[in-house]
Amino acid sequence: MNELLEIVGLDVSFPSQRGTTYAVRDVSINVKPGEVLGVVGESGAGKSTIGNAVINLLEPPGKITNGKVLFQGKNISSLDDKEMRNIRGQKIGMIFQDPLTSLNPLMTIGAQLLETITKTTKLVGDAVFKKAIELLEAVGIEQPEVRFFAYPHEFSGGMRQRVVIALALAGDPDLVIADEPTTALDVSIQEQILELIRVLCRERKLGVIIITHDIGVIANIADRVAVMYDGSVVETGKVHQILTAPKHQYTKSLIAAVPRGDIKFKRFKSVDYIEGGKQSYKSIDVDQHWLGEKVRKNSTDKAIFIEGLNKEFVIKKAVFERNRVYLKAVKDVSFSVEEGESFGLVGESGSGKSTIARLIVGLSKVDRGSIKIFGQDVANKRKDQKVIAAQGDVQMIFQDPYSSLNARMRVQDIIAEPIRYYQTASSDSEALQIVGDLLDHVGLGSTAMLKYPHEFSGGQRQRISIARALASRPKILICDEPTSALDVSVQAHILNLLKDLQDELRLTMLFISHDLPVIRQMCDRVAVMRHGAICEIATTDNLFDAPNHEYSKHLLNLIPRMESVGKKELIS
């Protein structure tokens, strides 16, 4: 079969005052019609740059400095803007990550489709309309004649992504480049969108390039995969071969770092190939150290005890009570966590899991119900001294490492803040000594003390967050999606760190995630949440091996399984 797209020895460089950086170096990949090529790599690997280089939409000052992009045998990297515009849309379609921003909010989706179709095909009049309806039908939008007149905000995220796919297909392209097409979507929607891409690819003999960080997505959809690291393709091959018998050291590390839903490991395999892998973790003798000084009452009370918890948000304000519209974020939730246990809350976005975390630490007010931390009710009285003390036992690690640190403070001041504020250290030099120990403890090293947060990567910032949380000597650590903004290899490091800390400091952990395999690796017991209510509470092993509730089964089915790799190859 002829190659549809052939990239030969592509170099993309970004010249700047401080010298030229190569985003892509000597990359050669190819795609045949009807084939799905996955490009996988972590942030900064240059995978999106390849997609942009193909359609010549590199952000200045980036430019192709070497190599060729052959599309249907023709070199398209040297075409000018006008010729290129004809190829984009007509020959090559693009699907972007965020369906909300890639649609124009002021135009109906019908108008956007019509515009694209008239631009990219020679159709006129009724034929255009007909084609638009056909496309909407093809991407699985029900009642296309009605939905045609709807605006993007009237669609859900998954439906919007379908519209984006319809737009990409409007010019009957031969090649579709999908850049992280499902990253902004929930797992259940992700499955549907990938299925749709797969079907369209087969029916229309499309070549598809899927760019993603998610090996699960690759396992699900791709025929072949190119693994990228630091601008270069380190390995190319059939998906089955790459996932089961990777050759390159990086690919091995990457695959080992992906949390598995089927087996529980004690720790993640150490991923040494990737930056940060060699960080030494320095343990602290807790009994001798300041960290262990805080008196631990051996209370019989449960660490967290929640009963009949309710929380509503006003989503439509009104003067009169009856006109207000409420969203029930948490409905009659009850669970308890034993001291030293790690408890998981899992659910899709909007299931209320983060709201529970915010209620426990006192960031939002409880409407009804009680939250007891080691027997002290913290739900209703906020100003009480005992409540404040009880809440001091709880610390939270946030999702976004980029916004959870004050950019104007040095790392040492960020971490020392609770120590200084509560004067838990005898002097400021002791406080700084403790900060140094904490930084060593989370694997950053005390050299980080004088730097500012922006000098660190996402994973390192998350370590700083953890050190800050530890500085107030908590007994309970609430982790709200602590790794969902991080690359898999970094995620493995952070999860290992959390496990070690839990063992060493005997922390109780409430672990919130949408990612079932991560939950499996981290938690003893799990609560599955949906629409603000708990569906099922079970030990992790029980839940994964024999789920009771329908919804739990549904969620478990959606985990992209490494075992299923190659299933698709057998079918076709």
Partner 1 sequence: MIEKEGASDKSLLTFFYLKVLFANLSNPMAFISVILLTLIVGCAIFAPFIAPTDPYDLSVVSILDGRLAPGEEMFDGTIAWMGMDGAGRDVLSAIIYGLRTSLIVAISSALIALSIGIFIGLIAAFYGGKVDSFLMRIVDIQLSFPAILVALVLLALLGKGVDKVIIALVVVQWAVYARTVRAAATVERHKEYIEAASCLGLSNSRIIWKHLLPNSISPLIVLATLQTAHSISIEATLSFLGVGVPITEPSLGSLISNGFDFILSGAYWITFFPGVMLLATVASINILGDQIRTILNPRFTE
Structure tokens at 403: 């916004």
Please, which residues have CB within 8 angstroms of residue 403's CB and are 6 or more apart in sequence?
Answer: none
65, 25 contact by CB (below 8 A): no
Would you say 37 and 208 are in contact if contact means Cβ atoms under 8 Å apart? Answer: yes
Binding status of residue 312 toward partner 1 by CB under 8 A: no
Point out which span in 203-211, 273-281, 370-378, 401-409 binds partner 1 (CB under 8 A): 401-409
Q: Which is nearer to partner 1, 172 or 417 (CB)?
A: 417
Q: Does 566 interact with partner 1 (rule: CB under 8 A)?
A: no
Q: Is 392 in the site for partner 1 (CB under 8 A)?
A: yes
Is residue 213 within the footprint of partner 1 (CB under 8 A)? Answer: yes
Spatial separation of the C-alpha atoms in residues 197 and 182, rounded to whole Å: 11
Instruction: Tell me the torsion sign for CA atoms 209, 210, 212, 218.
Output: negative
> How many chain residues touch partner 1 (CB under 8 A)?
40
Q: How far is the CB of 479 from partner 1 (least distance, A)?
A: 13
Q: Which listed residue (245, 286, 363, 450) binds partner 1 by CB under 8 A?
A: 363
- What string of DSSP letters covers 322-352? GG-EEEEEEEEEEEEE-TT-EEEEE--TTSS
Q: Which stretch binds partner 1 (CB under 8 A): 108-116, 292-300, 301-309, 393-401?
A: 393-401
Q: Does 63 bind partner 1 (CB under 8 A)?
A: no
Query: Which span (201-209, 319-327, 330-338, 400-408) binds partner 1, by CB under 8 A?
Result: 400-408
> What's the min distance (Å) between Cβ of 319 and partner 1?
14
Minimum gap (Å) between residue 404 Cβ and partner 1:
4
466: contact with partner 1 by CB under 8 A: no
What is the chain's Cα-based Rg?
26
Instruction: State yes or no: residue 157 binds partner 1 (CB under 8 A).
Output: no
Options 65-73, 159-167, 262-270, 402-410: segment touching partner 1 (CB under 8 A): 402-410
Per CB under 8 A, does 376 bind partner 1?
no
Residue closer to partner 1, measured from CB, 89 or 458? 458
Q: How far apart are CA 342 and CA 330, in angstroms?
A: 21
For residue 477, what are the β-bridge partners? 395, 509
* Residue of the chain from 11, 22, 44, 198 that contacts partner 1 (CB under 8 A): 44
Nearer to partner 1, 116 or 161 (CB): 161
Taking the least distance from each CB to partner 1, the nearer of 36 and 45 is: 45
Q: Does 354 bind partner 1 (CB under 8 A)?
A: no
In this chain, which stretch among 39-47, 233-241, 281-289, 340-348 interacts with partner 1, using CB under 8 A?
39-47
Smallest separation, CB 349 to partner 1 (Å): 15
Q: Which residues contact 462 (CB under 8 A, 6 or more apart)?
A: 397, 401, 482, 483, 486, 490, 494
Tokens found for residue 241: 């071969």
Nearer to partner 1, 352 or 453 (CB): 453
Q: Which two tokens stand for residue 423?
A: 């004067």
In this complex, which beta carbon is closest to partner 1, that of residue 207 or of residue 352? 352
| Residue with Cβ nearer partner 1 (159 or 396) | 396
396 lies in the site for partner 1, by CB under 8 A? yes
Q: CB under 8 A: which stretch of 112-120, 186-194, 301-309, 394-402 binds partner 1?
A: 394-402
Sign of the torsion formed by the C-alpha atoms of 96, 98, 102 and 103: positive
**CA 66 to centroid of chain Cα atoms:** 33
**Residues 261-300 vs partner 1: string with x where CB under 8 A?**
----------------------------------------
By CB under 8 A, the residues from 404 to 463 that bind partner 1 are 404-409, 417-418, 421-422, 452, 454
Q: Which two tokens stand for residue 535?
A: 């569906």
CB atoms within 10 A of CB 136: 22
Give the residue with the Cβ less far from partner 1, 171 or 482. Answer: 482
Considering only 31-39, 43-51, 262-270, 551-559, which stretch makes contact with partner 1 by CB under 8 A? 43-51
Q: With binding defined as CB under 8 A, does residue 388 bind partner 1?
A: yes
Nearer CB in complex with partner 1: 133/409: 409
Q: Choose the stretch contacting partner 1; rule: CB under 8 A; options: 262-270, 324-332, 399-407, 556-564.
A: 399-407
The piece of 198-206, 318-326, 345-353, 403-411 that touches partner 1 (CB under 8 A) is: 403-411
Give min distance, CB of 485 to partner 1, in A.
5
| Amino acid identity, position 76 | I
Query: Does 43 sit near partner 1 (CB under 8 A)?
Result: yes
Write out the DSSP string of 412-445: HHHHHHHHHHHT-SSSHHHHHHHHHHHHHHTTS-
Distance of alpha carbon 68 from alpha carbon 83, whole angstroms? 16
Rule CB under 8 A: which of 472-501 touch partner 1?
Answer: 472, 485-488
Burial group, residue 36, by CB count within 10 angstroms (0-12, 13-18, 19+): buried
CB of 357 to partner 1, least distance (A): 10
Find out whether 199 and 192 touch, Cβ atoms under 8 Å.
no
Instruction: Say whether residue 42 binds partner 1 (CB under 8 A).
Output: yes
Q: How far is the CB of 88 from partner 1 (least distance, A)?
A: 23
Q: How many CB atoms lie within 10 A of CB 349?
A: 12
Closest Cα to residue 405, out of 354, 456, 363? Answer: 456
Amino acid at 486: L
Q: Nearer Cβ to partner 1, position 430 or 455? A: 455
d(CA 72, CA 81): 19
Residues 6 or more apart in contact with residue 37 via CB below 8 angstroms: 29, 30, 31, 207, 208, 209, 210, 222, 223, 224, 225, 226
Peptide bond preceding 61: is omega within 30 degrees of 0, i.e. cis? yes
Specify whether the CB–CB gap between 442 and 497 falls below 8 A.
Answer: yes
Contacts of 117 (CB under 8 A, 6+ apart): 123, 128, 131, 132, 135, 170, 171
Binding stretches for partner 1 (CB under 8 A): 42-44, 48, 183, 213, 358, 361-363, 388, 391-392, 394-396, 398-400, 402-409, 417-418, 421-422, 452, 454, 465, 468, 472, 485-488
